[in-house]
Amino acid sequence: MDADLKSIAAARRCAETAFDAYRKFLGTDPAHIDAIVQAMADAIEPEAKRLGEMAVAETGYGNADHKRVKDLMNARGTADWLRDVTTLGMLWRDDATKIAAFGEPMGVVAALIPVTNPCSTVIFKVLSAVKAGNAIVCAPHPRGVKCGLEVVRIMANVADQMGAPKGLIQCLDQVTIQGTAELMKHRRTSVVMATGGPGMVKAAYSSGKPTLAVGAGNVPCYVHQSKRRELGEVAEMIIASKSFDYGTACVSEQAVIADPQIARDLRHELKLKGAYFCTPAEADGLAKIIFTDRQAMNPERVGQSPERLAELAGFSIPPRTKCLVSEESEVGWQRPLSAEKLNPVLAFYEAKDSAHGIELAHAIAKFEGWGHSAVIHADDPQIVAQFATIPTGRVLVNVPAIHGGAGYATDLEPSFMLGTGTWSGSITSDNVTALHLINIKRVAYANRPWRDIYQEYGA
């Protein structure tokens, strides 16, 4: 049997088993579900270091210690938030309107897992799906199958021990594009959660099933002159976020835009925090190795260290460099480094004034990154309000992009699935959570005489 047939067979088997488990799981006491969710999250903690190392070894992407942090952030942060959220049973009631809302599971969730976050995304999606009373089948990237299987094994074993039906949490062990497509369109699949590249998102929306899918992000970071006294902190936030896990998070900063009054000082502070500003020739060399001739990221250059990228581009950098920076003035494919880069590489723009800085931020967000996220560092509320007209689902103020967007340094919902809205063809611009994985049933009592319709509108 060839690989596609094996993958299709695995998808069908998992979908049917998951559906049976979901039916058995229906009606489980929400308090018991909460206990299962917490136990699964607890089980990840002692394994996080090993899972981080495993992810880097299998995929070749990212920083093992940072992946450990991602796994813990999803296990602890997601579980902590879910503990206080009601997903099943009565969600709310309004005695004045005589309406009550009840949450019910959707069924079987098909969860597509990106190669850039092969463990942390599984953790987030499994906790969210089970909290909502669903079964889940994970479809990892072919380059992250071992990671996906191991995380699911850990979490499923705990759920089984606590009385969840076997098959509630599964992972495809044979993965091809055709097999993943079969899982998404299978008659037992109720909803698709898709995280990945544009091609995968398009395939998910073409599956014929209700789909939560998120697209690419080209996150601009505008630094206003009102932050003059805090440029050291601003620079540290930018470098910490962009260098985290070697830039594999699509919510991390992609371009820094500085007001002219502070541009020189910000460059200096960025250098102190580990940024290396490339010469024009070095930047051109970086662009050639990061992108292909087809105006797309080279997958072999994703999540690589600054040292490795510089070596491939043919130049050397100082020790302890955390991020490579290219000075830019244009936005578009004529300057590839103005696009999304899933590695520790930043574009840097010096604006003519604040209006031009905001204009550049809009142009960057619209170029290969509509709808995702944008960052502003400013103490002027009017400037923040002007910047917030940018076409993105999140506008993050005075925080690192990854820490703010994922809900750690802000009170946004903790999530590793950030909706990009209709700007980029997504059904939601929310931080996706378990609340997106339930059907909400309204029970509505009569609140006015039904016969009055004839007097009001005529018969």
Residues acting as catalytic residues: 250
Structural tokens at position 22: 């979901």
Nearest C-alpha neighbor of 60 from the set 231, 353, 394, 308: 308
Ramachandran area for residue 371 (φ above 0: left; ψ -120 to 50: alpha; else beta)? left
Q: Checking DSSP bridges between strand 108-112 and strand 438-444, what pairing results, if any? A: unpaired
CA distances 310 to 293, 313, 417, Å, are 19, 5, 31
Structural tokens at position 366: 């619209």
> Residue 330, Cβ neighbours under 10 Å: how many?
12
CA distance 413 to 432: 8
CA distance 227 to 131: 41
Sign of CA dihedral 166, 170, 173, 178: positive
CA distance 264 to 253: 19
Residue 350 belongs to what H/E stretch?
strand 345-350
Q: Please enumerate in sequence order all residues whose Cβ is within 8 A of that of 409, keeping only pairs 6 or more positions apart, or say none.
A: 399, 400, 403
CA distance 159 to 83: 17
Q: Rounded to 5 degrees, what angle do the CA atoms 378, 382, 388 make? A: 75
What are the beta bridge partners of residue 443?
Answer: 100
Strand stretches in 106-246, DSSP E: 108-112, 135-139, 169-171, 189-195, 211-214, 219-223
